[in-house]
């Protein structure tokens, strides 16, 4: 079982819809989780981090964490064509700053 799993997609949503991206992880030790967006040919950019169970909102983005179910999700409201990218889920290990990434979900927002 991979440490961080994501559906590779592509996930296709119409403009203005809510995009829901999901991620599961395999251990009960990790405490910190991150969502990154990566455009083709670019480096990953941090969207948001989440550490506590529940929801965390930042603009059009909401991250959700459920440690009991080992599940992290990212909701993008009012999706725009400019949101079309690969979304990477990552967890931080129990020591240091090592991040373990999922393989990413490709999101396509249709105008």
Partner 1 sequence: KAGVTQTPRYLIKTRGQQVTLSCSPISGHRSVSWYQQTPGQGLQFLFEYFSETQRNKGNFPGRFSGRQFSNSRSEMNVSTLELGDSALYLCASGQGDGYTFGSGTRLTVV
Residue span binding partner 1 (CB under 8 A) among the ranges 18-26, 59-67, 74-82, 94-102: 94-102
Interaction pattern, residues 70-89, with partner 1; x per rule: CB under 8 A: ------------------x-
Among 43, 52, 69, 82, binds partner 1 (CB under 8 A): 43
20-70-104 Cα angle (round to 5): 45
**98: contact with partner 1 by CB under 8 A:** yes
Compute the chain's Rg from CA coordinates: 13
Q: Please pick, from the candidates 11, 60, 64, 93, the single residue that binds partner 1 as defined by CB under 8 A.
A: 93
Tell me if 29 contacts partner 1 by CB under 8 A: no
Report DSSP state, residue 30.
-
Whether the CB-CB separation of 35 and 47 falls below 8 Å is answered with yes
d(CA 47, CA 35): 6
Question: Does residue 45 touch partner 1 according to CB under 8 A?
Answer: yes
Sequence-ordered alpha helix ranges (H) in 1-111: none
Contact 87, 74 (CB under 8 A): yes
Residues of this chain that interact with partner 1 (CB under 8 A) are: 32, 34, 36, 42-46, 49, 88, 90, 92-93, 95-104
């Amino acid at each position: 079982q991979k440490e961080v799993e994501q559906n590779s997609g592509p996930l296709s949503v119409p403009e203005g819809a809510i995009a829901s991206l999901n991620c599961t992880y395999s251990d009960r030790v990790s405490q910190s989780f991150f969502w990154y967006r990566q455009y083709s040919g670019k480096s990953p950019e941090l969207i948001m981090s989440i550490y506590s169970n529940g929801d965390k909102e930042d603009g059009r983005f909401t991250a959700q964490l459920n440690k009991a179910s080992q599940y992290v999700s990212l909701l993008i409201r009012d999706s725009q064509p400019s949101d079309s990218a690969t979304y990477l889920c990552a967890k931080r290990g129990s020591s240091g700053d090592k991040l373990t990434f999922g393989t990413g979900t490709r999101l396509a927002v249709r105008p």
